[in-house]
Amino acid sequence: MSEMTKFGADLIQAMSEALAHAQGKDVPGMQVHGVDIGTVDAKAIRKKLDLTQDQMATVLGTSPSGYKKWEQGKRQPSGAAHTLLRIIEREPEAVLRALTGENREIGESPASPAASH
């Protein structure tokens, strides 16, 4: 078998295995590892921070209507929003520092320019 033919055969086999895995079929020799990061309670996190729904949506970079659907249980946050909620739940001050570059509590208003004089 020539080098290119062997490469082609290996590629076809790999893609066949990937397709079988995607279809939920058992693929010999393949191990699947998952990490359960659990669910988050967006409403409880928001209330703990004493924020309105609109403020929390702003912090998360999502629309207020989308955020409200999370609280109503109509949708679940996924991906980056889920991860950010988990981090806010555990380290709210760190998130605020990262998002604003300021050292203040979430929900606290920034100092007005007049107050700093």
CATH number of residue 73's parent domain: 1.10.260.40
Asked whether residue 84 is domain-assigned, the answer is yes
Q: Which residues does 96 contact at the CB level (< 8 Å), separation at least 6?
A: 102, 104, 105, 106
Range of the domain at 103: 42-107
Residue 59 lies in a domain: yes
67 inside domain: yes
Q: Give the C-alpha distances (Å, rounded to integers) separating 40 from 50, 68, 94.
A: 17, 14, 18
The tens digit of pLDDT for each residue in 4-35 reads 689 999 999 999 999 998 998 988 888 878 77
**Structural domains in the chain (count):** 1
Which residue's structure tokens are 């991906």? 79
Read off the pLDDT of residues 39-71 as tens digits, 9 standing for 90 and up: 899 999 999 989 999 999 998 989 999 999 999
